[in-house]
Amino acid sequence: MSEFKDKRTVVTGAAGTVGRVVAQAFHDAGADVTGVDIVEYEAPYRTLVADLIDPEGARGAVAELGEIDILANIAGGFAMGDTIAETSDDTWDFMMNLNARTVLNMTRAVVPGMVARGSGKVVNIGARGALRGAAAMGAYVASKSVVIRLTETLADELKAKGINVNCILPSIIDTPTNRADMPKAKFSNWVPPEHIANVVLFLASSAADSVHGASIPVEALA
C-alpha cells in the first residue's frame, strides 16, 4: 500500500502543465488530492477554484478543505525581457504575486493546522535560475529567490514541530508554453514535468523526513 494512501494533499496551480502532472502523480499514488487553481479544469480528483494571490482566497480554500497533510505549492509563472530599469510595477507585482505571494498565503493558511497535528509536508517550487541574477529576468529571479528564502525560514521554524519544508529548483521545464516561446531549442534537454513530480513526491514522503530547508536542483541535460 502506498504511504500516500488517503493523505490529504493540496496541489496549487493544478490546472497548469506541471501542477496537473504533480496532482495526477499524487492521485495515482493513492492520495486524497485537491487541485487548486484560479480557473476550472477537469480531473479525476477534487478541484477547487480560488485566487491564491488574495489572502482571503487562500484562507477560504483551506477552510473549505479542512485538514491538510501535504501542500505542494506549484502555482507560478515566468516573464522576462525587461531590464531592471525598464521593469514596470505591473510586471514586478505579477511575478511577486504569482510566484511568492501564493506560497506565502497558502503557507499561512495551512501551517497552523499542521502545527496543531504535529506533522506535515510542504514542497515549494523555486528555480535554478534564481540562485543568481540574470539580465532581463530581474522580476522573475527575485520572486523565485523569495521562495527559496521562505522555504529555508519555514524549515527552521517548523522542523522541531514535525513539519518538513523544502523546495526544488528546476531548470527549463518542457511545457507547451516554453516550446512556443523557444521553438528552436532542443526540447529533449529540458526537464519533463514527470521528473518534477517525482522529486515533489519524494520530498512529501517519509524518505525525506530528515530533509529540511533543502533546495534541490532538477536540471536540464544542457
CA distances to 23, 59, 68, 176 from 196, in Å: 11, 27, 21, 16
User: Average pLDDT, whole number, for the chain?
Assistant: 96
Contact 135, 83 (CB under 8 A): yes
* Rounded Cα gap, residues 20 and 49, in angstroms: 14
Predicted local confidence at residue 222, as pLDDT? 56
The per-residue pLDDT for range 76-114, each reduced to its tens digit, is 999 888 999 999 999 999 999 999 999 999 999 999 999
The per-residue pLDDT for range 25-34, each reduced to its tens digit, is 999 999 999 9
The x, y and z cell numbers of residue 93, run together, are 507585482
What is the end-to-end Cα distance of the chain in Å, rounded? 37
Predicted local confidence at residue 1, as pLDDT? 55
The per-residue pLDDT for range 144-193, each reduced to its tens digit, is 999 999 999 999 999 999 999 999 999 989 999 888 988 999 998 999 99
